[in-house]
Copies of this chain bind each other. A is one copy, B any other.
Amino acid sequence: MKRAGIRKASQTVSDHVTSKAGGARPVSIAMVARRAGVSIATVSRVMNGVENKATSETAARVRAAVAALGYRPQSVGRALRQRESRIVGVLAANLGNPAMAAAAASIELALRDAGFVMALCDTHEDPAIQDEYLAEMEAQLARGIVLLVAVPSPRLDQLRAAGRPLVFVNRRDPGDETSPFVGIDDHAAGFAVAQHWLARDKAGPFGLLHASLSFSAGQRRAAGFVAGLVAGGVAEAEILRGTGSGKCHLAIGHAGMGALLAGPRMPRRILCLSDLIAYGAYRRLSEAGLRVPDDVALFGFDDNPLNAWIAPWLSAVKIPYDDFGPVVVATLAALLDEAQAKAGFMPHELVIRGG
Contacts and interface: CB of A to CB of B under 8 A. Distances in A.
Interface of A: 21, 24, 26, 72-77, 79-80, 85, 87, 95-96, 98, 101-102, 104-105, 108-109, 112, 117-122, 135-136, 138-141, 162-163, 250, 279-280, 282-283, 286, 305-306, 308-312
Contacts of A162: 21, 24
- Copies of this protein chain in the complex: 2
Contacts of A139: 72-76
A95 B148 CA distance: 16
B122 A105 contact: yes
B119 A119 contact: yes
A76 B73 contact: no
In the A-B complex, the 10 residue pairs with the closest CB atoms: A95-B105, A101-B101, A120-B120, A279-B309, A75-B139, A76-B79, A76-B80, A279-B310, A119-B119, A75-B140
Contact of A96 (B102, B118, B141): B102
A28 B120 CA distance: 26
Nearest to A282: B310
B85 A250 contact: no
Nearest to A250: B309
Contacts of A305: 96
B140 A117 contact: yes
Contact of A80 (B80, B101, B118, B312): B80
Contact of A105 (B72, B80, B96, B308): B96
Contact of A286 (B74, B306, B312): B312
B306 A306 contact: yes
A163 B250 CA distance: 44
A264 to B, nearest CB: 27
Given A98-B98, A135-B72, A279-B310, A108 B120 contact: yes
